[in-house]
Amino acid sequence: MKKFLFLISLFALPNILFALDEEYASLGNNPPVPARAVANPQAGGPHKRGSLGPTSTVNKRNPFDLNSDILENYKNWGKTRMNLEAAHKLGITGAGVTVMVIDSGVSPHKEFKTGAISTLDFTSSGPYDTFGHSTGVIGIIIAKGEDMLGVAPDAKIYSAKANPGQGLISSGPVVNAINWAVEHNKTSQDKISVINLSYGVSGWQQDLADAIKNAYKAGIIIVAPSGNEGFHKVLFPASMDEVIAVSGITAHDGAYGKSSYGAQVDFTAPASAVYTTGLNNSYIWADGTSVAAPYVAGMAALAIEGYRLANEGKDPSPAQVKEILAAASSLASGPHKLKQGYGVIDAGKVAARFVPAGKK
């Protein structure tokens, strides 16, 4: 009933998106350390950047506790299933590629390399993550391997806060962040190549659709989850042709039960018992297609790095990135084709296309 009322509010407020309802289990209650100050650009004003270091932490809200021993054997299943280390051994780690995560901000963590994250705030609440959603997404992309390994550990992150710490996200701040990325790329050397949007809604949002189309035309790859509704309808914005839509699988290669599906699904990635970074410098277990999407955003970063190496620094188009990832994918054994698109991406195959074994 609660979810039904929530959907009714979405229809009543057409400019509202929602962060997909992941389940999080905390693995620690480390005492908070005061976060050091960073620049705090406000929505509608000059969006100055702040650098985020790897040691400071902020308060964490713990939804529930879980004995980590239960899931210990699953800690590295995503890394293994997507063959991440094969790419890294070939030297393809996302170096030189920047990914924007538009979400709930970021909490400093030991898994984040110094200087790897720049922050933007489009909420007037400061760039720090007090919700946890975005920090977990970022860890999947760039964790350096202290206790988990990200898909593209040498990539850079722009953490654009569009959610002030609630489950609901207005489309306005998301549109502002995407438009900021497009304008930023016109004059900056550290161009944003990939944008991860780990949320969705059942209805169409024209302002967001326009921003995404503009970013796609500007050469930015957009990745979003298919949804956690569990039925035959991919949520917006993943339903757009310009967006790479990601569904979810389990550690046993079955379809993640809540994953929405349909012909718009492009790839599938781990979405159950995913071990990632949490608030308070902790780690969490997370379920949901919101955590599947950043696996593919990270894979896009690997593809871009490899393409640049093979093409004298030239950037691939979004369509070329999608083709690279599709060529490196294979169907998972469990889900129907409508639930996985091209299937699971093999990072080793992405890297080997540009760096043959033995040439590293």
Per-residue confidence (pLDDT) for residue 73, from 0 to 100: 75
* The predicted structure's pLDDT at residue 358: 45
Q: Which of 356, 294, 304, 355 is nearest to 325 (CA)?
A: 304
Pick the catalytic residue from 103, 129, 154, 287: 103
First to last CA, the chain: 56
To the query of whether residue 336 is one of the catalytic residues in this protein, the response is no
Six-digit token string for 24: 């999080």
Which residue's entry shows tokens 């999947």?
140
pLDDT of residue 241: 98
Helix axes 171-187, 206-217, angle to 10 degrees: 20
Helix (H, G, I), strand (E, B) or coil at 41: coil
Query: What predicted TM-score, i.e. pTM, was given to this entire model?
Result: 0.85
Provide, rounded to the nearest whole percent, the portion of the chain with pLDDT above 70. 79
Catalytic residue among 88, 109, 133, 184: 133
What is the per-residue pLDDT for 357? Answer: 54
pLDDT for 313? 96
Query: What mean pLDDT value characterizes the chain?
Result: 83
Longest Cα separation, the chain: 58
Confidence of residue 37 (pLDDT cuts 50, 70, 90): very low
Whole-number Å distance between alpha carbons of 202 and 17: 9
Q: What is the pLDDT of residue 251?
A: 93
Residue 328 pLDDT exceeds 60: yes
pLDDT score of 214: 98
Domains in the chain: ranges and CATH: 20-352 (3.40.50.200)
For residue 306, give the 3-state DSSP assignment: helix
Q: Give yes or no: 290 in active site.
A: yes
103 carries an active-site annotation: yes
104, 239, 290, 329: the active-site residue:
290
What's the pLDDT score for residue 59? 29
Taking only the tens place, the pLDDT of each residue in 16-32 is 454 455 554 444 333 22
Torsion of CA 134, 137, 141, 147, to 10 degrees: 100
